[in-house]
Amino acid sequence: MRIAVFLFMALLTAGLVYILDTTRLLPAPLGKLLSPQQGVWQNAEPVNNNFSDELKFPKLKGKAHVYLDENLVPHVFAENGDDLYFIQGYLHAKFRLWQMEFQVRAAAGRLSETLGAGDNNAILNYDRGMRRLGMVYGAENAMPEIEGNPITKSITDSYTDGVNAFIEDIDESQLPLEYKLLGQNPEKWNTLKTALLFQYMALDLAGHEDDFEHHNAASVFPKEVFEKLYPLYPDSLDPIIPRGTPFMQPGLALNTPATADSLFYPIKDTIGIRQTKPDKDNGSNNWAVAGSKTKSGRPILCNDPHLGLNLPSLWFEMQLHSPTHNMYGVSLPGAPGIIIGFNDYCAIGLTNAGRDVRDYYEMKFKDDSRKEYQFNGRWKASTFRIEEFKIKGAAAYYDTVVYTSLGPVMYDASFTGQNRVKNNKNYVVYWLAHHPGNTPYVIHQLNQAKNYDDYVEALRYFVVPAQNFLFASKTGDIAIWQNGKFPARWKGQGDFVMPGTDSAYLWQGFIPHDENPHLMNPSRGFLSSANQLPVDSAYPYYLGFGSDYPVYRGVIINRMLSKMNNITPDDMQKMQVDNYNVFAETARPVLLKYIKEDKLNAEESKYLSRLKKWNLRNDPAEGGPVIFNVWFDSLENAVWGDEFAKIKGVYKWPQESTLIDNIIKDSAFSFIDNINTPDKETINDVVTIAFQHAVPSLQQLERDDVLSWAKFKGTGIRHLLRLPALSRMNLPVGGGSHIINATKDFHGPSWRMVVQLTDETEAYGIYPGGQSGNPGSRYYDSFVNTWAAGKYKKLWVMKENETADKRVKWKMSFTK
Amino acid sequence: MKFIVSVLLTALLAFAAGLYLPWWSIAIASFLVASVLYQKPLLSFLCGFTAIFLLWGILAWLRSAGNNHILAAKASLLILKTENPVLLILVTGLIGAVTGGLAAWSGTLFRRIIKK
């Protein structure tokens, strides 16, 4: 009896331990998680934590010191480059390990492994999409380039050793919080993971095109209508290279396939596949003003890349110093070097080029086995890649991906993207990022650049994602290159899905590097880019449709810069956070011109007069931008909704600038009429009806107390796992799409930087996050309030003899 | 007196074990102390309960106080769906306490089998 009672109690105890150690019964292993000696309490970093340390690693070649300042920014001083990158890897891991691994798992289509397949297999579907897009394939193709170059081989090896040195040193209780929440352990780092991180950036910045949507639109609209809806050169365009700048004669002659025109207008089929796309506003601002326009007489370079706003932040700020090297700026945890920043000679800022470097081809296979595909009248053998997906809490999933000489079959009967639709066709994705080149080399060379020639030489090796590389130097030069590898396209190539049976439809070559759009020291005294088209129609190559090429930010930046003189870094900071809405400046007079005010009731008139009084600034407390946005959305719906409903499959409405440009040009624009009514609506009818439809929404917003811009927009910085508890939501921030301060809900300026290239560099910067990736650290989000207030911190380029400076809070020594 | 000694001993042993072993070493510590220092089953449960409640509660509180409760505010919102650091400390103590209590109870019963 006693034994039975004992066994019962012992089993009860063991059962409780089991329940508290697993997720079998509870959503979280509460015992493991809450144990003060092992669980999340260990991540409660003391607010007065001492980060000083003395570390020994046999792989180091010499001595090095890291000085951490009051913002936890490391200033790394090493005796040689290998140690510098080793320590960068170590620090990235120390402060951002979980994020580094998560981003790479996302790139490699391995999220199901730790998160499970998700609702309706959404996560598994995402993973399959990444593999089928060839994300891992592209990273693998980069490896011989990176490892075949002795410079980058040694950089990436040192970096990897640094990351792994940290991983080897920590015990389970010291793991980042997210590992504990997910019940996961860190994997060792390697160079392939760095390559995958660059693939992730390539996808974010060079993975946007609307080939399927355009394909479907061309199945319904005739050519001349299509060109009105998707103009190649918007009327309001102010290109990066000013109009009238002469271009070189093209070095390449291209042959348009004879069948192209008859094939595309009209298109005979439509596509239902819904792709996962990066945010359409992944873009940025950068500008540089020459000494002729500044108070100091030296150039000032400014940059703010607009990306998804996450915690931990995409960026990690640091200074890297060696005898040959002194670079300050932001790095990507997972990659060696500084991506955006400045050294003792020059500064570099990036915005996205957004050019179309991805096409789809419809393949014809001999039979259902898909072992052979038709190409130039012959049958060619395909290969198969079997992708394994480990799934948390379920059996592994296997997916067979067919590879052709063009690339992988991304969409077929078994995979149709975000949705399930019937599809019997095989679409191959042909993407520049399948052959991404040696990105770490370019970063390293740019970090060491001393002058314009070094900068241009480094750019020659850059493939993807193409950027507008802005340059300013202490010698007074400013320059910009839209740079990357670009397919030289015949007119119309890649706008729609193309036949994969004929080599005439493949890319015939790449635009020679010297013919990429670029400009140095222009007479107007400034350069800028804001993701608009780089050139006007005088450029000899076809640009096609890439990202949306938004026009308005470029217009306002150039307008402001051309009026400014005696510019100071302070003026530039104010400009980066400016909330003036040039899109509303263009559209509001048009809307007000056509609205029939006599048809409005008292309530409607109240909102209209509020809009009229608006100062065109998207400041946080303004109601005007809410009324304007809701009205414009309603107008788009009224104008496009009826005609686009004819399209079977996916489609995309034209840009906002296209709608307003069309109305300005032609108030009898055919899309104005609602084709579902017998009457012929005029522009006055449509604008008025759109406003009347908007008013009930506005009333509801007012009742909910969100008829003010910041509340309506709801800017937040979300944790990568989308856990609200670890995010910073509802920040009082203005700005938005089309505005220099391009802060949307979860997307916006991810790093604001202003650098004045005086003898002693004067630089300012801020990013919406914090240096530590640990949600239990005071440095997790310590920059967020400063960023949200539109303020900056002064960047300190530490000198070797400043070790006693009061800004140095902690010192880490590294020896072998 | 025996109760207080048992509580202190259990807490001490559990703390030491926690430095090297997984979290459930608190159960081993409670079990061992209860099987060595015999008490009546209910008293023994209370002893393990109190020891681990105090150990985990105090450890969690110390860490949290030094952290200005930054982590506890987030973790309580995540785990308990309410932002309440004190509650998370109490829940932490309770989870450890129940585990420790049951293990101590088992320890006493084990002792009764061995030494009739």
Q: How confident is the model over A734-786, as pLDDT tens digits?
A: 999 999 999 999 999 999 999 999 999 999 999 999 999 999 999 999 999 99
SS3 at position B27: helix
Q: With an 8 Å Cβ cutoff, is A772 touching chain B? A: no
Instruction: Look at residue A283 in the predicted model and tell me its pLDDT.
Output: 84
CB atoms closer than 10 angstroms to residue A718: 18
Task: For residues A294-323, give the mean pLDDT.
Answer: 97
Find, in chain B, the residue whose alpha carbon is nearest to that of A3.
B113
E-assigned strand segments in A164-258 = none
- Confidence grade of residue A806 (pLDDT, cut at 50, 70, 90): very high
Count CB pairs under 8 A between chains A and B: 125
Q: How far is it, in rounded angstroms, from Cα A417 to Cα A132? A: 10
A287 φ/ψ sector (left φ>0, alpha ψ -120 to 50, else beta): beta
pTM of the model: 0.96
Residue A113 CB partners (closer than 8 Å, separation 6+): A105, A389, A390, A391, A392
The shortest CB-CB distance from A36 to any of B63, B78, B99 is to B63
Burial class of residue A690 (count of CB atoms within 10 Å of its CB; 0-12, 13-18, 19+): buried
Residue A335 gets the label, from left (phi > 0), alpha (psi -120 to 50) or beta, of: beta
Residues in B touching A34 (Cβ below 8 Å): 56, 60, 79, 88, 91-92, 95-96
Q: Are A309 and A549 in contact (CB under 8 A)?
A: no
| pLDDT over 80 at B116, yes or no | no
* CB contacts, 8 Å: A777 with chain B: 70
The residue of B45, B55, B63, B89 whose CB has the most chain A CBs within 10 angstroms, and thus the best one to mutate to test that interface, is: B63
Mutation for testing the A interface, residue in B15, B31, B67 having most A CBs under 10 Å: B67
In this predicted model, what pLDDT tens digit does every residue of A682-728 receive, in sequence order?
Answer: 999 999 999 999 999 999 999 999 999 999 999 999 999 999 999 99
Chain A residues with CB-CB distance to B95 below 8 A: 20, 30-31, 34
Q: Identify the closest residue of chain B to A779 by CA–CA distance.
A: B70
With CA atoms as reference, the chain B residue closest to A178 would be: B75
Of B63, B71, B106, nearest to A10 by CB-CB distance is B106
pLDDT at A450: 97
B112/A contact by beta carbon, under 8 A: yes
Asked if B113's CB is within 8 angstroms of A6's CB, the reply is yes
Tens digits of residue pLDDT in A449-494: 999 999 999 999 999 999 999 999 999 999 999 999 999 999 999 9
Q: What integer pLDDT is reported at residue A60 of this predicted model?
A: 97
Pairing of strands A467-473, A478-483: antiparallel
Q: By the 8 A CB rule, do A336 and A444 touch?
A: yes
> What proportion of chain A, given as a percentage, has pLDDT over 70?
100
* Candidate from B18, B70, B103 with C-beta closest to A37: B18
**Residue of chain B minimizing CA distance to A38:** B23
Quick: pLDDT tens for B67-99.
999 999 999 999 999 999 999 999 999 999 999
- In 3D, which of A367, A370, A366, A361 has the Cα closest to residue A378? A366
Per-residue pLDDT at A2: 84
A453: exposed, middle or buried (Cβ count in 10 Å: 0-12, 13-18, 19+): exposed
- Interface subset of A 339-398, CB within 8 angstroms of B: none
Residues in chain A closer than 8 A to B102 (CB atoms): 9, 12-13, 16
Cα–Cα distance measured from residue A479 to residue A244, given in angstroms and rounded to the nearest whole number: 17
pLDDT of A732 strictly over 70: yes
Answer whether A13 sits within 8 Å of B92, measured CB to CB: no
How far does the CA of residue B109 sit from the closest CA of chain A (Å)?
Answer: 5
Residue ranges of alpha helices (H) inside B21-67 are: 25-36, 41-66
* pLDDT of A326 strictly over 70: yes
Compute φ and ψ for A239, nearest 5 degrees: -70, 165
Verify whether the Cβ–Cβ distance B105 to A13 is below 8 Å: yes
Mean pLDDT of chain A: 96
Interface test with A, best of B109, B111, B113 (most A CBs within 10 A): B109
Please state the rounded mean pLDDT for residues A780-797: 98
Q: Which helix (H) or strand (E) holds A31?
A: helix A30-34
Give the count of beta carbons closer than 10 Å to the beta carbon of residue A404.
Answer: 22
Q: Which residues of B touch A28 (CB under 8 A)?
A: 79
Residue in B67, B75, B92 nearest the CB of A47: B67
Contact A303, A340 (CB under 8 A): yes
> Which one has a higher pLDDT value, A546 or A444?
A444
Burial of A171 (0-12, 13-18, 19+ CB in 10 A): exposed
Chain B, window 22-51: residues with a beta carbon less than 8 angstroms from a chain A beta carbon: 22-24, 26-27, 31
Any A CB within 8 A of B103 CB: yes
Q: Is B19 in contact with A37 (Cβ distance < 8 A)?
A: yes
Task: Give every strand in the sheet of A310-311, ordered side by side.
Answer: A310-311, A715-719, A728-731
pLDDT of A229 higher than 80: yes
Q: For residue A230, what are the CA distances in angstroms to A226, A264, A358, A546? A: 6, 15, 18, 11
Å between A73 CA and nearest CA of chain B: 20
Segments in A705-774 forming alpha helices (H): 709-713
| Residues A365-422: tens digit of each pLDDT | 999 999 999 999 999 999 999 999 999 989 999 999 999 999 999 999 999 998 889 9
Beta bridge partners of residue A528, listed in sequence order: A287
Mutate to test the interface with B, among A6, A23, A33 (most CBs of B within 10 A): A6
What pLDDT is stored for residue B10 in this prediction? 96
Contact assignment for A37 to B99 by CB distance below 8 Å: no
pLDDT score at A339: 98
Q: Do A36 and B60 touch (CB under 8 A)?
A: yes
Question: ω before A540 within 30° of 0 (cis)?
Answer: no
Looking at residue A745, its amino acid is: D
User: Does any CB of chain B come closer than 8 Å to the CB of residue A233?
Assistant: no
What is the band of A264 on the pLDDT scale with cuts at 50, 70, 90?
confident
Share of chain A above pLDDT 90, in %: 92
Q: What is the pLDDT of residues A550-597, one digit of tens each?
A: 999 999 999 999 999 999 999 999 999 999 999 999 999 999 999 999
CB A72 within 8 A of CB A771: yes
Compute the 3-state secondary structure of chain B and give helix, strand, coil in percent, each to the nearest 5.
Answer: 85, 0, 15
Which residues in chain B have their CB less than 8 angstroms from residue A36's CB? 56, 59-60, 63, 92
Q: Which two tokens stand for residue A91?
A: 């620090």
Cβ separation B77–A43 shorter than 8 A: no
- Residues A527, A521 contacting (CB under 8 angstroms): no
Please answer yes or no on whether A37 and B77 come within 8 Å at the CB atom.
Answer: no
**What average pLDDT does this structure show over A517-533?**
97
> Do residues A410 and A113 touch, judged by C-beta distance below 8 A?
no
pLDDT of residue A544: 87
Provide the sign of the torsion angle of the four alpha carbons B45, B47, B53, B59, taken in this order: negative
The pLDDT score that the predictor gives to residue A555 is: 97
CB contacts, 8 Å: B87 with chain A: none
The alpha-carbon gap from A596 to the nearest alpha carbon of chain B, in Å, equals: 51
Inter-chain CB proximity A46 and B79 less than 8 Å = no
Closest CA of chain A from B18, distance in Å: 6
What is the number of alpha carbons within 13 Å of residue B99 lying toward its C-beta?
33
Give the residue on A whose Cα is nearest the Cα of B52. Answer: A35
